Amino acid sequence: MKNSIFALIFMSVLALPNAASTQPVSNATFWCVGEFKNNQIGGSHITPWTIEDNGRIYAEGHWEGTWTKREDGLLDVLSWTWQGNPNDGKDGAFIVQILGPKYFIAWRNGETFRWGTRTTRSSC
């Protein structure tokens, strides 16, 4: 049921990524994040993403990067380090759209690849 609710929310904004309202990020926020592939929502990873208002974004012990806020309110994550190796041969750029106070979607190369739900805990 939980995956069905997330799927409905995320599928409703996939076609129009700029249609949902974007909310500013304030202070540090924690997000339980899972894979989104082939229009299927995967379970969340145990390590949350942290988005800080100073432009830092990371999953502790896995990767870290920096973000900038675009004019349209989306967050561009342009550079990141995977387990100590810059981009580790992967395309590091992705876009995050905050969907109100509780959810986000992230895109890489025009494809939805992550979903997130806000949490107050430091683990998911």
The CATH number of whichever domain residue 34 belongs to comes to 2.40.128
Q: b/e map of 89-120 (b: 16 or more CB within 10 Å)?
A: eeebebbbbbbeeebbbbbeeeebebbbbbbe
65 lies in some domain = yes
Q: What is the mean pLDDT of the chain?
A: 77
61 lies in some domain = yes
| Residue 103, domain extent | 2-119
Handedness of CA 66, 22, 44, 29 (dihedral sign): positive
pLDDT of residue 85: 64
Split into its structural domains, the chain has a count of: 1
10 lies in some domain = yes
pLDDT tens sequence across 51-85: 999 999 998 888 888 899 999 999 998 777 776 66
Q: Are 114 and 106 in contact (CB under 8 A)?
A: yes
Q: Are 98 and 20 in contact (CB under 8 A)?
A: no
64 lies in some domain = yes
124 lies in some domain = no
Token readout for 29 is 């926020």
pTM greater than 0.85 (yes/no): no
What is the spatial distance between Cα 78 and Cα 73, in angstroms, rounded to a whole number? Answer: 15
70 lies in some domain = yes
